[in-house]
Amino acid sequence: MSFSSLAKEELLRLPLGKNCCVMSELSALVQTSGSLQLRGGGRVRVTFRVESAGLARRIFRLLGAGLELTPRLHFVQHARLGGRRSCVLTLEDEAAQKLLLSLHMMERGEDGGVTLRRTTPRHPMTRQCCRRSFLRGVFLGAGTMSDPEKDYHFELVAGEESLCATLEKLLEKSGLPVHMHQRKGKCVVYLKGCQHIADMLTLMGASAATMELENIRIKKEIRNQVNRAMNCDEKNAERQVSAAQKQVEMIKAISIQRGLYTLPPSLQEIARLRLEHPEESLTSLGALLDPPVGKSGVNHRMRRLEAIYDEIVASMDVLKKEDTP
């Protein structure tokens, strides 16, 4: 199961909450998963079409708890989508009118008749709990997020510009940086960054998903630190081998031009150890000396050998110039 599905499963198990929260969540689901059909003669139908049985059960419960409505439930098989089934919940006529009146999409006139005033809900969300419920409903109906092991991306697909504007306002009010773009004629509101997505999950009530996201972030950070350390160790090893090779070539040149026996005893000892152990670090060479010497002491002796080598190279350059006619 994907991380997005796990987060949704957690949200589907949450209590429905107060009636104002139930209506806020229903308002979001009407806009993301619902459709409205006017059939003439004052007849109206509201249909919710979802692919998750868990979401179908939650819509069923929301309608029952908030409005005492019982939708008709049936399943549709999609031959073109590999036999995948959709859950369809339907409210008709008086039941549909009751929902639309509650969401301020319909209004009742003085004569008792009802009239459709708008195609999107206008349910007030003055309380923080209602805003949380609305965002939860949008995510359940039209939200997704990428695998945090690969990328941090959370998005809500808003079919209508009005929903896009509402989401922008709610997210900004919650302190979350909003990004938007158009995809196939629909407005997509999205968040980037682990912390912003974690805040969004917490806001909707997915605390377990938030903890799992944080665990993944920590694992990725540790893995990156280990990789950086390994790369650093590898580069240090390469530099160490390169420096050791230069030291060996330098000592061989001194041996040929002057002989190691001309060197002070301390330099003779370190020169012979380097030739015998061309791959050892300065610290390891120092441990082989008698008595042992630290890395800085070995480095000091190597610099003295380097100075002697530079003298030899300089004298050879002078001889070459003198021999040149």
pLDDT one-digit tens code per residue, 160-177:
888 888 999 999 888 899
**55: three-class secondary structure by DSSP:** helix
State the distance between the two ends of the chain, measured CA to CA, in whole angstroms: 84
- The per-residue pLDDT for 239 is 83
- The per-residue pLDDT for 321 is 64
Dihedral-angle region of residue 226 (phi above 0 means left; psi in -120 to 50 means alpha; beta otherwise) = alpha
Dihedral of alpha carbons 234, 239, 240, 242, sign: positive
- pLDDT at residue 307 tops 70: yes
- The per-residue pLDDT for 30 is 93
**92: three-class secondary structure by DSSP:** strand
Across all residues in the chain, what is the average pLDDT? 88
The answer to whether 191 and 172 are in contact (CB under 8 A) is no
- The per-residue pLDDT for 43 is 86
pLDDT one-digit tens code per residue, 173-216:
888 998 988 888 888 999 999 999 999 999 999 999 999 999 99
What phi and psi, each to the nearest 5 degrees, are found at residue 182? -95, 135
Angstrom distance (rounded) from CA 309 to CA 8: 71
CA distance to 21, 62, 69, 228, 286, per residue, from 29 (Å): 12, 10, 15, 46, 73
**Pick from 247, 253, 254, 296: nearest CA to 273:** 247
More confident site: 158 or 48: 48
Domains recognised in the chain with CATH numbers: 3-205 (3.10.28.10), 240-323 (no CATH)
- The per-residue pLDDT for 161 is 83
Q: Which residues of 39-61 are buried (b: 16+ CB within 10 A; e: fewer)?
A: eeeeebebbbebebebbbebbbe
As a whole number, mean pLDDT of residues 240-246 equals: 85
- The per-residue pLDDT for 82 is 61
Respond yes or no on whether the N-terminal peptide bond of residue 71 is cis (omega within 30° of 0).
no
**Pick from 52, 48, 26: nearest CA to 37:** 48
Q: Give bridge partners of residue 85 from the DSSP assignment.
A: 77
pLDDT one-digit tens code per residue, 249-285:
888 888 888 888 888 989 989 889 888 888 888 888 8
- The per-residue pLDDT for 247 is 87
Q: Which amino acid is at 228?
A: R
pLDDT one-digit tens code per residue, 218-232:
888 888 888 888 877
What phi and psi, each to the nearest 5 degrees, are found at residue 9? -60, -40
- The per-residue pLDDT for 256 is 86
- pLDDT at residue 320 tops 80: no
- pLDDT at residue 37 tops 80: yes
- The per-residue pLDDT for 325 is 55
Angstrom distance (rounded) from CA 66 to CA 62: 6
- The per-residue pLDDT for 75 is 87
The answer to whether 149 and 216 are in contact (CB under 8 A) is yes
> Among 20-24, 36-40, 70-74, 304-308, which is the least confidently predicted range?
36-40
- pLDDT at residue 240 tops 90: no
Angstrom distance (rounded) from CA 95 to CA 248: 91
Tallying the residues shown for the chain, one arrives at 325
pLDDT one-digit tens code per residue, 105-148:
888 887 777 888 888 888 778 889 999 999 999 999 999 999 99
